[in-house]
């Protein structure tokens, strides 16, 4: 029997993208993601044509530094100028509850210049499987899971989600000279196997032993294959994953294959709800505690936030509280049961009364079925919005911000029992 892993597609894509290009928060280098990929010393098309002919005539595995530099410049210049299809197979090794696990990831996709991609991502670990789809273009990332097919979008500000061409261009731009490893024959295709050197510069000041290899078609100098192996540091994705998964450090083994260049490809940008912020769900991710029913008044460990967003809670008949507006304080043990079922809590802390705030919050309970409005003493700020393992806090009402939070988290599949009314 297989179980669905309720990860949003943003989790999957972020996991893969960060693993592949090492987008590290602690590198101290804001220029890791290259947007201007013009080579410093470009070569003319005539030189490239001449170079191609020379490569075809090469019998030995030695190429001059000038030729190797010209090949690299050519790859940079031609990256993303024509359609192609691609596949990717990856094994990501990470830590789950102290046990090393292997996460197999498969991607099949297509690219349309100048920046459109469409792909399908699959993860299948036997007992855990998920499948999702993405489209990117115009600085936006769109994704949908296979269960509801609903498209959502976010700003693709880092450009790490755009396409394999972005990953390839950054690798080439941030590495040293290419080195020829061997000449290989695949059916009727002659390939140059080349190693990317000094790739550690891609990862800022983090000491990592990353290896990258390219296989280039000698007939047309197109990339046939790209592989990456080595450790990666991924602190940014930790907030997206279940607390049992420690993805701060992992190792990755990736293989891209590119084919059907100049194939007829037309990618349509889907209509989507836009509630993600730079690929992240709105609010602050709180460490996810147990989803455990306890008896009324029973003691338990301390919660990780105020108000609480996960952990120990009462069951019926003590919880959940009826949806809607409440005038009295409700304990966390009651509120959490509402969050378990996919609800969003809108809480206020006003010593002198704040009817204007209450009126605004109450309107949301008329628009969405699983909203609970109530006073809450002891909060850090005047207003707190909660969902399962997420919280947002503010001192003044921000209707737009609250609405974005509700759209992202209301009745979300991340809530353990979101299927309950």
Q: What is the pLDDT of residues 202-246, one digit of tens each?
A: 444 344 577 889 999 988 899 999 998 877 655 545 544 555 555
- Which residues belong to CATH 3.40.30 in the chain? 284-409
Q: What three-state secondary structure class fits 46?
A: helix
**Local confidence band at 17 (pLDDT 50, 70, 90 cut-offs):** very low
Whether pLDDT at 294 is above 90: yes
**Local confidence band at 147 (pLDDT 50, 70, 90 cut-offs):** low
Residue 191, φ and ψ in degrees, nearest 5: -120, 145
The 10 Å Cβ neighbour count of residue 9 is 21
Architecture of domain 284-409: 3-Layer(aba) Sandwich (3.40)
The 10 Å Cβ neighbour count of residue 374 is 22
> What is the dihedral sign for C-alpha 258, 260, 266, 270?
negative
Helices (H) and strands (E) in the chain, counts: 7, 21
Architecture of domain 3-274: Clam (2.50)
- Which residues belong to CATH 2.50.20.20 in the chain? 3-274
Check residues 21 and 233 and name the one with the higher pLDDT.
Answer: 233
Q: What is the pLDDT of residues 100-123, one digit of tens each?
A: 878 888 899 999 998 899 998 888
Across 88-97, 273-282, 362-371, least confident range:
273-282
**Local confidence band at 156 (pLDDT 50, 70, 90 cut-offs):** low
Position 90 scores a pLDDT of 87
Position 270 scores a pLDDT of 84
Angle between helices 355-367 and 399-409 (to 10 degrees): 30
Whether pLDDT at 332 is above 50: yes
End-to-end Cα distance, the chain: 27
Q: What is the pLDDT of residues 344-394, one digit of tens each?
A: 999 999 877 789 999 999 999 999 999 999 999 989 899 999 999 999 999
């Amino acid at each position: 029997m297989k179980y669905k892993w309720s990860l949003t597609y943003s989790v999957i894509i972020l996991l893969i993208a960060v693993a592949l290009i090492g987008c590290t928060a602690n590198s101290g280098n804001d220029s890791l993601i290259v947007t201007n990929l013009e080579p410093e010393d470009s070569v003319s098309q005539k030189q490239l044509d001449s170079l191609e002919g020379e490569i075809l005539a090469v019998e030995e595995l030695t190429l001059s530094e000038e030729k190797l530099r010209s090949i690299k410049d050519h790859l940079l210049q031609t990256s993303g100028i024509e359609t192609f299809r691609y596949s990717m197979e990856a094994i990501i090794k990470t830590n789950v509850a102290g046990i090393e696990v292997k996460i197999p990831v498969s991607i099949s996709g297509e690219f349309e210049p100048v920046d459109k991609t469409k792909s399908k991502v699959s993860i299948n670990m036997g007992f855990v499987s998920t499948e999702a789809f993405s489209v990117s273009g115009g600085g936006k990332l769109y994704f949908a899971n296979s269960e509801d097919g609903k498209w959502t979008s976010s700003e693709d500000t880092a450009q790490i989600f755009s396409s394999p061409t972005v990953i390839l261009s950054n690798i080439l731009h941030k590495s040293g000279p290419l080195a020829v490893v061997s000449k290989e024959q695949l059916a009727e295709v002659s390939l140059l196997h080349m190693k990317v050197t000094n790739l550690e510069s891609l990862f800022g000041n983090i000491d990592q032993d990353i290896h990258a290899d390219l296989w280039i078609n000698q007939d047309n100098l197109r990339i046939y294959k790209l592989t990456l192996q080595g450790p990666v540091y991924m602190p940014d994705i930790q907030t997206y994953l279940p607390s049992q998964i420690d993805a701060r450090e992992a190792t990755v083994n990736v293989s891209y294959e590119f084919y059907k260049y100049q194939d007829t490809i037309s990618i349509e940008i889907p209509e989507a709800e836009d509630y993600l912020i730079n690929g992240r769900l709105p609010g602050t991710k709180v460490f996810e505690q147990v989803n455990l029913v306890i008896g009324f008044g029973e003691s338990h460990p301390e919660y990780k936030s105020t108000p609480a967003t996960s952990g120990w809670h009462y069951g019926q008949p003590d919880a959940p509280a009826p949806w809607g507006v409440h005038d009295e304080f409700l304990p966390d043990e009651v509120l959490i049961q509402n969050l378990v079922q996919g609800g969003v809590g809108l809480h206020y802390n006003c010593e002198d009364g704040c009817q204007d705030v209450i009126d605004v919050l109450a309107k949301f309970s008329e628009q969405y079925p699983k909203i609970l409005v109530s006073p809450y003493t002891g909060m850090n700020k005047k207003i707190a919005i909660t969902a399962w393992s997420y919280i947002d806090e503010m001192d003044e009402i921000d209707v737009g911000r609250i609405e974005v939070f509700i759209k992202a988290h209301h009745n979300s599949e991340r809530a353990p029992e979101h299927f309950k009314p």
